[in-house]
Amino acid sequence: MLSPQAVHNGETPSPHHRILTPQFHSTVTLRKLRRFNSLILVFRLAAFAFSLASSVFMVTNSRGSDSPHWFDFDAFRFVFAANAIVALYSLFEMGVSVWEISTGATLFPEILQVWFDFGHDQVFAYLLLSADSAGTALAKTLKGTDTCKASNSFCVQSDISVALGFAGFVFLGFSSLLSGFRVVCYIINGSRFHL
């Protein structure tokens, strides 16, 4: 089950890495790295769950032809799209984390992996915050208008969707902190190992 990258990253450490972490340290280091990766996995799972729930709440927010639809509002379309993107991305990153925990090696080459994770975490965190803020502003504006008077459940469901999106943003932000830490470790040590 070991890919070429796995062999490159896990089995034969690079010379640079070998200098910094002597052989007798490697078991402890691996165990600590696994614990760190498990923490990332938990954050990814939470971000996935919340953003998936948010997009599902938004996409099911239509009740017959005479009530308002979520896709009639730009900001709600933005909320759905951003949450769906983050859910897909988190699912992919969960797979990457599970792969790394089980094989001890990164899916992509190590330098690409740490920068890929951090860069996408940052960009998607901004995207999700922007979408959720726009959704909040729209939801607040709709309160007291005919739309909410005609179908109060539509407005409540929109509120829930936006709130779930904010929860997803918080966990994506935590993931971003940890992946930023891995980038700094990589820059310092020439390896994602933080010991």
* Alpha helices by DSSP H, 60-151: 74-103, 110-142, 146-150
Q: Considering beta carbons, is residue 63 or 143 the nearer one to a copy of itself?
A: 143
Among residues 10 and 173, whose Cβ is nearest to a copy of itself?
173
Report, in Å, the least distance between residue 7 CB and a copy of itself.
29
Tell me how far, at minimum, the Cβ of 48 lies from a copy of itself, in Å.
21
Cα(5)–Cα(17) distance, integer angstroms: 16
Which CB atom, from 2 or from 19, has the smaller least distance to a copy of itself?
A: 19
Give 30: exposed, middle or buried? Use CB within 10 Å, 0-12, 13-18, 19+: middle
Please, what is the minimum distance in Å from the beta carbon of residue 130 to a copy of itself? 4
Residue closer to a copy of itself by CB (options 47, 142) is: 142
CB of 140: closest distance to a copy of itself in angstroms?
A: 6
Are the C-beta atoms of 97 and 37 separated by less than 8 Å? yes
Q: Which residues make up the interface to a copy of itself (CB under 8 A)?
A: 74-75, 125-126, 129-131, 133-138, 140-142, 184, 187-188
- Residue 20: partners with Cβ closer than 8 Å, 6 or more residues away: 189, 190, 191
Q: Which one-letter amino acid corresponds to residue 31?
A: R
